[in-house]
């Protein structure tokens, strides 16, 4: 039996409240490419065989029209919809809640279509080819139930000049396995240093701290395992309009429960992304620079 190539799951169902627009399908590349098209280009080159988009059904038509024709015949595509009612277990969701329940809930929505080891990424982050190559190598040689990985970036390469971000601080043991992921919220850069909110105070984080940029390598068993945790999450937070069921936090729970090991794979790839509107011009400039160096063609799909 031929082993399936790994899949790439792209998280594209966010509300983009801080950005102020639908950045998942906004043009940034020299020929109108979105940021996630560079991830898909790198994933195809690295050896991935399928892309699964997690989107919201209300903008499915425009999303598919934007990305589908470009990728026709280049890689297998699938689409799943994240909605508040999925996996709710019959619990009533507040009518005041509009934002999805977070990235791990998004992964749960892929449960019926996952058939191979997979990597999961954000749609609005540029990760670099090295990250996809390392992920594909891990998924094709090492990944199994309970054996997962996270691509680790240096904090200094993951901050925005235009506002605060959330980052998962990665702690590892001597074997390179993650011992925990601490979700650092409201991380800001000030005078060349990074600070995160810890309760009512700010703490400094070293700039070389390894952080998660939501680039994980899993097998379908991880998604299945998280379902019970989501039901518990809803029981405790269903009326909290801001609560989210997040991949780094669930990964942390898996490690602490002794249900698996997660390897931290450091990458030298340079991350950049769009969190705020002001980041857009910087992203466009960096993509032009990468095109000029020959790292990418001027038209990814021509």
Summarised one tens digit per residue, pLDDT across range 115-136 is: 999 999 999 899 999 999 999 9
Tell whether 1 is covered by a domain. no
Rg of the chain over CA atoms, in angstroms? Answer: 18
Tell me what the mean pLDDT of segment 145-172 comes to: 89
* pLDDT tens digits, 229-259: 999 999 888 888 888 899 988 998 999 999 9
Which residues neighbour 175 within 8 Å (Cβ) at sequence distance 6 or greater?
A: none
Question: Shortest CA distance to 168 belongs to which of 224, 120, 216?
Answer: 216
3-state helix vs strand vs coil in the chain, percent to 5: 30, 25, 40
Q: Please tell me the predicted confidence (pLDDT) of residue 22.
A: 57
* Cα separation, 181 vs 235, whole angstroms: 23
pLDDT above 70 (res 113): yes
Q: Please tell me the predicted confidence (pLDDT) of residue 15.
A: 46
pLDDT above 50 (res 176): yes
Tell whether 298 is covered by a domain. no
Tell whether 165 is covered by a domain. yes
pLDDT above 50 (res 16): no
Q: Pick the more confident residue, 63 or 1.
A: 63
Tell whether 302 is covered by a domain. no
Rounded (5°) CA angle 219-223-224 = 105
* Cα separation, 253 vs 240, whole angstroms: 20
Q: Is 245 left (phi over 0), alpha (psi -120 to 50) or beta?
A: beta
* pLDDT tens digits, 58-105: 889 988 998 999 999 999 999 999 988 888 877 777 777 778 889 999
Residue 136 belongs to domain spanning:
7-292
Tell whether 36 is covered by a domain. yes
Q: Pick the more confident residue, 113 or 19.
A: 113
Q: Please tell me the predicted confidence (pLDDT) of residue 17.
A: 38
* pLDDT tens digits, 256-300: 999 999 999 998 888 888 877 788 898 999 999 999 999 999 999
Question: Shortest CA distance to 245 belongs to which of 117, 92, 82, 127?
Answer: 82
User: How many separate domains does the chain show?
Assistant: 1
Q: Please tell me the predicted confidence (pLDDT) of residue 21.
A: 47
CB 251 within 8 A of CB 181: yes
Q: Please tell me the predicted confidence (pLDDT) of residue 18.
A: 39
Tell whether 2 is covered by a domain. no
Tell whether 75 is covered by a domain. yes
CATH number of the domain that 223 lies in? 3.90.550.10
Q: Mean pLDDT of all residues in the chain?
A: 90
Q: Please tell me the predicted confidence (pLDDT) of residue 20.
A: 38
Parallel/antiparallel/unpaired status of strands 125-126 and 50-55: unpaired
Tell whether 300 is covered by a domain. no
């Amino acid at each position: 039996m031929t082993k399936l190539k790994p899949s790439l799951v792209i998280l594209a169902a966010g509300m983009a409240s801080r950005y102020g627009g639908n950045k998942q399908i906004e043009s940034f590349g020299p020929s109108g490419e979105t940021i996630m098209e560079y991830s898909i280009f790198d994933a195809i080159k690295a050896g991935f065989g399928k892309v699964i988009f997690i989107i919201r059904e209300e903008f499915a038509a425009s999303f598919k029209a934007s990305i589908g024709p470009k990728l026709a015949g280049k890689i297998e595509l699938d689409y799943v919809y994240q909605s508040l009612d999925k996996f709710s277990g019959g619990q009533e969701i507040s009518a005041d809640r509009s934002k999805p329940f977070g990235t791990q809930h998004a992964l749960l929505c892929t449960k019926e279509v996952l058939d191979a080891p997979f990597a999961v990424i954000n749609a609005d982050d540029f990760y670099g080819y090295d990250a996809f190559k390392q992920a594909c190598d891990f998924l094709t040689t090492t990944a199994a139930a309970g054996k997962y990985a996270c691509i680790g970036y240096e904090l200094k390469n993951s901050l925005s000049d235009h506002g605060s971000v959330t980052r998962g601080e990665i702690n590892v043991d001597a074997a390179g396995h993650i011992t925990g992921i601490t979700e650092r919220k409201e991380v800001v850069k000030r005078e060349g240093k990074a600070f995160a909110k810890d309760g009512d105070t700010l703490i400094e984080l070293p700039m070389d701290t390894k952080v998660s940029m939501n680039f994980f390598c899993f097998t379908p068993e991880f998604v299945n395992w998280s379902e019970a945790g989501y039901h518990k999450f809803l029981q405790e937070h269903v009326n909290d309009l801001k609560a989210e069921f997040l991949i780094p936090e669930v990964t942390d729970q898996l490690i602490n429960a002794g249900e698996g090991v997660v390897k931290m794979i450091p990458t030298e790839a340079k991350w950049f992304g769009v969190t705020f509107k002001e980041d857009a011009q910087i992203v466009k400039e960096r993509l032009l620079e990468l095109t000029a160096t020959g790292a990418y063609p001027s038209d990814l799909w021509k």
